[in-house]
Amino acid sequence: MILCETIKSKMEAIRSEFPTEQALLLPLLHEIQAKEGWVSEGAMREASEFLHLPLAKVKEVVTFYTMYNRKPVGKYHIQVCTNIACFLRGSDQLVACFEKKLGISCGETTADRKFTLSEVECLAACGTAPVMQVNNDYHENLDESSCQALIDRLS
Amino acid sequence: MSELFLTTKDQIADSHTLSVYRSKLQGYAGLERALTMTRDEVVDQVKKSNLRGRGGAGFPTGMKWSFMPKEPKHPDGSPKPKYLVCNADEGEPGTFKDRLLLNRYPHRLIEGMAIAAHAIGASRGWIYVRGEFYQEIVILKKALEEAYAQGFLGKNIMGKGFDFELSIYRGAGAYICGEETALLNSLEGKRGEPRLKPPFPAMVGAFGMPTCVNNVETFCSVVGILRDGPEAFAKVGTERSGGTRLFCVSGHVEKPGVYELPLNITLRDLISHCGGVKDGKKLKAVIPGGASAPMLSAEEIDVAMDFDSLMKAGTMAGSGGVIVMDETVCIVEAAARLLKFYEHESCGQCSQCREGSHWLARLFHRIETGHGDTKDLDTIARLCSNMAGQTICAFADAVTGPALSSLKKFRKEFEAHITGGCCPLKKPGQKAPHFLEHHDHVAL
């Protein structure tokens, strides 16, 4: 069971905030991903049963939003912004630096399942570009040496 | 230096806590005064301030509030609830002010929303925050707990018999959810696809009920207006757009960041205010209002940053995101980068947008990598004419902003790519950015 009692009770705690049960879908998927690291087919089935929604209503949401991982990711999910403001401040060099250091391309996970590297669209932190998000945390004002140091620290 | 309504000259430590917000920032004095007024009086104060929405469209806030029905009823005669929603799905490339407001002044947002809820008669509200803002959500949650504990939210707020429940809803990574009706669908646990309008959210909004949606900065601006009266706010800015605005300046400036400045500041002065172009380089182009705003060339920066002046200059004030590009930037590559973003973020509902953004991204990439054809330039214009104004929401119009403005103002650069067979600003042998390569083998 992916939907453990902890997740269920978290949902019960916020149920009264919404007029419909369906509104709990995004929060539920966030909880599933926080626990599992991704949203599997099985998790979608459990979510559809829990919220009394057709499976398609769950799947169409999971596939719409980019934050829900549809396959497992590494322990550290490195997401580098390559949108305009970060691009102007050298995000391409950061991506190249990560690819070289980790030996993987964007969208891939290292063999030891420690790092997944992704590109993301604007993270709304353009004043401190280039930026990236590693799991829940923003890292700002980056350069190649700070990225190398981060990988060394997390490795 | 003009008056500041949203930030302070020197940062105040722990301004996110209720105690500091109360003791140093006159916290909840605006709500206290608003609760002595009738709903109409509050709306009137906001109208007099000339506050215009800070999310992008610049619609007068007081007028938006006055569109909310007074006593909406279900067909059986029972009263319909009214809802208030804060759009904190900050995602327009170049915009990063809401993040600052959520981090430093979460209570000002809560106070502004409580004032708005009183003005429109809403019983419940949600703050829709983009999912990536994990730390901001942690701060905001704590602030909500404090506000509930101290009686600024919940039942009988400040002992005035006013009830308002407020909670957070976390998005999950979709630019389109910044569009208010897409946001409402997302809040309902659905795909964030924009709705056909009418009906407008004031009639049929969240969960089918009358709903008012405003941006974080708009709610925060309301607080000072209610606390000190609308005159001081209206006095700053221009006749038709009152107050200061948080300008987010990024790209090639010496001191990028969020600056609170009067709306009548010129773009030239704004760039100087940020220390000028980085490393003393020459300015090439500026996007003045977030990625969707048409670019301005270096010769066009003597324009005031208010909604009307920028519109007259053929662009828009949008979300206040100012992206500065120096002489080393290849405009074709910059535009290609933006179009790749739009291709990625189109929700896919309308064919003009879904297909158009895809084609444009490919065309721009093709030209950038030296494989373009002169007739591609006409195709760009033709595609754009079939997108703008043809779709459910304004996303397709936004796509045409960078596409058409870059082509119109920097046509020579496009032509140089086509005739030279490569990007003239790239060193020989330098390859196109890796992430665009998946477009390489697609023929149009």
What residues contact A59, with CB distance under 8 A and at least 6 apart?
Answer: A44
Q: B321 and B335 share a domain?
A: no
Chain B residues close to A96, C-beta within 8 Å? 434
What was the pLDDT predicted at B403?
A: 97
B293 touches B279 (CB < 8 A): no
Cα–Cα dist A105/A118, whole Å? 8
Q: B300 and B335 share a domain?
A: no
Put simply, the chain A residues between 73 and 102 with a CB less than 8 A from any chain B CB are 82-85, 87-89, 92, 95-96, 99
β-strands B211-215, B83-88 pairing: parallel
* pLDDT tens-digit readout, A125-146: 999 999 999 999 999 999 999 9
Are B173 and A66 in contact (CB < 8 Å)?
Answer: yes
Mean pLDDT for the stretch of residues B220-225: 97
| Residue B271 in this model has a pLDDT that exceeds 70 | yes
Mean pLDDT for the stretch of residues B10-30: 96
Residue found by looking up tokens 């499976």 in the block: A55
A91 touches A50 (CB < 8 A): no
* pLDDT tens-digit readout, B334-356: 999 999 999 999 999 999 999 99
Cα–Cα dist A20/A16, whole Å? 9
Burial readout A103-124 (b: 16 or more C-beta within 10 A, e: otherwise): ebebeebbeeeebbbbbbbbbb
CB–CB contacts below 8 A, A to B: 160
| Residue B2 in this model has a pLDDT that exceeds 70 | no
Among A84, A120, A131, pick the best mutation site for testing chain B contact (most B Cβ within 10 A): A84
Nearest by CB to residue B329, choosing from A17, A20, A88, is A88
B333 touches B304 (CB < 8 A): no
What residues contact B40, with CB distance under 8 A and at least 6 apart?
Answer: none
Tell whether B287 is covered by a domain. yes
Closest chain A residue by Cα to residue B127: A17
Tokens representing B128 are: 């829709």
B121 touches B159 (CB < 8 A): no
Cα–Cα dist B377/B373, whole Å? 8
Q: B69 and B195 share a domain?
A: yes
Closest CA relative to residue B383, chosen from B418, B337, B351: B351
CB-count burial class (<10 Å; 0-12, 13-18, 19+) for A16: exposed
| Residue B441 in this model has a pLDDT that exceeds 60 | no
Tokens representing B146 are: 């404090």
Which domain covers residue B253, as residue numbers? 244-326
Instruction: Kindly indicate the confidence band of residue B425, based on its pLDDT and cuts at 50, 70 and 90.
Output: confident
Q: B164 and B221 share a domain?
A: yes
Q: What angle do CA B90, B93, B96 make, to 5 degrees?
A: 50
Cα–Cα dist B413/B406, whole Å? 9
State the CATH number of the domain containing residue B405: 1.20.1440.230
Q: What angle do CA A61, A63, A67 make, to 5 degrees?
A: 90
Tell whether B253 is covered by a domain. yes
Q: B286 and B229 share a domain?
A: no
Tell whether B286 is covered by a domain. yes
Task: Point out the domain boundary residue: B326, B345, B372.
Answer: B326
Q: What angle do CA B36, B37, B40 make, to 5 degrees?
A: 165
Closest CA relative to residue B171, chosen from A66, A19, A45, A137: A66
Q: B127 and B47 share a domain?
A: yes
Instruction: Kindly indicate the confidence band of residue B238, based on its pLDDT and cuts at 50, 70 and 90.
Output: confident
Q: Indicate the DSSP class of residue B436.
A: G
Residue found by looking up tokens 């804060």 in the block: B86
Q: What angle do CA B41, B47, B49 make, to 5 degrees?
A: 110
Burial readout B119-156 (b: 16 or more C-beta within 10 A, e: otherwise): bbbbebbbbbbbbbbbebbebbeebbebbeebebbeee
Q: Indicate the DSSP class of residue B119.
A: H
> How far away is chain B from the Cα of A68, in angstroms, using its nearest Cα?
7
Instruction: Kindly indicate the confidence band of residue B435, based on its pLDDT and cuts at 50, 70 and 90.
Output: very low
What was the pLDDT predicted at B438?
A: 37
Cα–Cα dist B8/B244, whole Å? 12
Residue found by looking up tokens 């708005």 in the block: B116
| Residue B101 in this model has a pLDDT that exceeds 50 | yes
Q: B196 and B265 share a domain?
A: no
> How far away is chain B from the Cα of A132, in angstroms, using its nearest Cα?
11
Task: Point out the domain boundary residue: B234, B269, B293.
Answer: B234
Residue B249's beta-bridge partner residues? B257, B322
A29 touches chain B (CB under 8 A): yes
Q: Return the sign of the alpha-carbon dihedral for residues B179, B340, B304, B243.
A: positive
| Residue B434 in this model has a pLDDT that exceeds 80 | no
Q: For chain B, give the number of residues.
A: 444
Among A26, A63, A105, pick the best mutation site for testing chain B contact (most B Cβ within 10 A): A26
Written as one letter, the residue type at A155 is S
Closest CA relative to residue B3, chosen from B260, B376, B209, B193: B260
For residue A10, give Cα distances in angstroms to A42, B71, B395.
20, 34, 35
B144 touches B152 (CB < 8 A): no
Cα–Cα dist B88/B98, whole Å? 7
Tell whether B80 is covered by a domain. yes
| Residue B26 in this model has a pLDDT that exceeds 90 | yes
Tokens representing A94 are: 């950061």
Domains and CATH numbers, chain A: 5-64 (1.10.10), 76-154 (3.40.30.10)
Q: B321 and B342 share a domain?
A: no
Q: For chain A, give the number of residues.
A: 155
* pLDDT tens-digit readout, A59-113: 999 999 999 999 999 999 999 999 999 999 999 999 999 999 999 999 999 999 9
Task: Point out the domain boundary residue: B326, B355, B378.
Answer: B326
Nearest by CB to residue B325, choosing from A65, A88, A127, is A88
Q: B82 and B220 share a domain?
A: yes
| Residue B432 in this model has a pLDDT that exceeds 90 | no
Nearest by CB to residue B96, choosing from A89, A96, A124, is A124
B404 touches B294 (CB < 8 A): yes
A149 touches chain B (CB under 8 A): no
Q: B98 and B22 share a domain?
A: yes
Q: B270 and B148 share a domain?
A: no
What was the pLDDT predicted at B239?
A: 85
What was the pLDDT predicted at B428?
A: 55
What was the pLDDT predicted at B430?
A: 56
Tell whether B432 is covered by a domain. no
Chain B residues close to A14, C-beta within 8 Å? 167
| Residue B433 in this model has a pLDDT that exceeds 60 | no
What was the pLDDT predicted at B193?
A: 98
What was the pLDDT predicted at B439?
A: 35
Nearest by CB to residue B94, choosing from A29, A92, A126, is A126
Tell whether B216 is covered by a domain. yes
Tell whether B165 is covered by a domain. yes
| Residue B1 in this model has a pLDDT that exceeds 80 | no
Among A73, A88, A91, A100, pick the best mutation site for testing chain B contact (most B Cβ within 10 A): A88
Q: Chain-wide mean pLDDT for chain B? A: 94
> What percent of chain B stands above pLDDT 90?
91
Through-space distance between the first and last CA atoms of chain B, rounded to whole angstroms: 53
Mean pLDDT for the stretch of residues B408-427: 91
Nearest by CB to residue A61, choosing from B94, B189, B256, is B189
What residues contact B272, with CB distance under 8 A and at least 6 apart?
Answer: none
Closest CA relative to residue B360, chosen from B320, B400, B315: B400
Written as one letter, the residue type at B99 is R
| Residue A22 in this model has a pLDDT that exceeds 90 | yes
CB-count burial class (<10 Å; 0-12, 13-18, 19+) for A14: middle
Task: Count structural domains, chain B.
Answer: 3
Instruction: Kindly indicate the confidence band of residue B24, based on its pLDDT and cuts at 50, 70 and 90.
Output: very high
Cα–Cα dist B132/A30, whole Å? 11
State the CATH number of the domain containing residue B292: 3.10.20.600
| 3-state DSSP assignment of residue B424 | coil
Q: B108 and B250 share a domain?
A: no
Mean pLDDT for the stretch of residues B285-303: 97
Tell whether B437 is covered by a domain. no
Closest chain B residue by Cα to residue A132: B132
| Residue B52 in this model has a pLDDT that exceeds 90 | yes
Closest CA relative to residue B241, chosen from B323, B150, B329, B304: B304
Tokens representing B15 are: 């301004």
* pLDDT tens-digit readout, B136-145: 999 999 999 9
What was the pLDDT predicted at B440?
A: 33
Cα–Cα dist B390/B133, whole Å? 33
